[in-house]
Amino acid sequence: MIKILTVIGARPQFIKAAPVSRAMAAQTGIREVILHTGQHFDHHMSQVFFDQMQIPRPQYELNIHSMDHGAMTGNMLVGIEQVIKKEEPDWVMVYGDTNSTLAGALSAAKQGVRVAHVEAGLRSFNMAMPEEINRILTDRVSSLLFCPTMAAIENLSREGFDHFPCQIKLIGDVMYDACLQFRPLASPPDIADLPPEFVLATIHRAENTNEPTRMNKILYALNKLSDTIPVVFPVHPRTRKLLDSGNYPQLSGQIRQIRPMGYLEMLHLLNACRMVLTDSGGLQKEAYFFEKPCITVREETEWTELVEAGYNKVCGTDPDAILAASAQFLKQAPHFVNGLYGNGNAAEMITAAFLDS
């Protein structure tokens, strides 16, 4: 029996873990133990995903959140280390690029436990992003690197991973697995008068919310965009604090500010919207899954294949660039071609790799 300790803690990781946990539960040779660090603790950012996606209840919950990066990662290291000593897993599996990802990988590596990294090889090439640091360090200590795209594999090759004692596997994207599994269950959010046509917007990354100049530009662009088409804006708790502070411009009445949505409600919004505007990595891909053009309000993206195909425009926070790209997409959406992120069987490929290890 192979025992796998899965470390998760943030909204995107819950989505990624759901199909993998389901695939592993179907195998008699694997036992999964789930540890939730607590990085996302708000009900609408955490528990609702476990409920809707039927993720097994975590056996361990560390409740570590609302700290600076060093304090959060350090406390997670301590807590995860204790669980590893108790459970003695064969593998520690981590997802993505959060502080929970890095803490899980480092805790395992320092205790001689093999690390499996789902979503390995992604690079934004911006070392000012905490996520970039997390994903690079996590990859380096991993023994199994599950890559969603050939671009990710090429990144690892350029960094010398072909000469490291690890296995690199192209599996596609587990978020595509999740989309295929749960799209039929998508449900309308409990909000009145959802516009018949709208842009779906989310803003949460620290590189934007921690920089007043950048945030002011984004909010200005959203207000101007809403003169053309209504905007539905699920507001992240971090962003909510900023908007409630009184230090930023008031949002237009054409911008529907709503609470963070559960996964099934977000799937409904993605299906219904005309376009997505976001600084989220995951939502860029989900826009593609639903064949919706995407404006990325960052200076770069790790999902370069979406930009190269013309489905995503990286505009930074320049209002003119955001509005010009939006006008182009709203006038004529790109023609989407499937297949950038695999065939929807990434979870089964992950499970098979563990059984073969």
Active site residue ranges: 204
Half-sphere exposure of residue 56: CA atoms within 13 angstroms, side-chain side = 19
Question: Rounded to whole angstroms, how far apart are CA atoms 168 and 155?
Answer: 11
Q: Which residues pair with 220 in a beta bridge?
A: none
Question: Rounded to whole angstroms, how far apart are CA atoms 180 and 231?
Answer: 26
Q: Which residues contact residue 97 at a Cβ distance below 8 angstroms, ignoring those fewer than 6 apart?
A: 119, 122, 131, 132, 134, 135, 138, 281
The total number of residues shown for the chain amounts to 357
Question: Rounded to whole angstroms, how far apart are CA atoms 336 and 325?
Answer: 17
Question: Rounded to whole angstroms, how far apart are CA atoms 276 and 285?
Answer: 11
DSSP readout, 173-237?
-HHHHHHHHHGGG----S-S---SS-EEEE---HHHHT-HHHHHHHHHHHHHHTTTS-EEEEPPH
User: Quick check: helix, strand or coil at residue 346?
Assistant: helix
Residues 100 and 39 sit within 8 Å (Cβ to Cβ): yes
Residues 342 and 348 sit within 8 Å (Cβ to Cβ): no
Question: Rounded to whole angstroms, how far apart are CA atoms 306 and 227?
Answer: 27
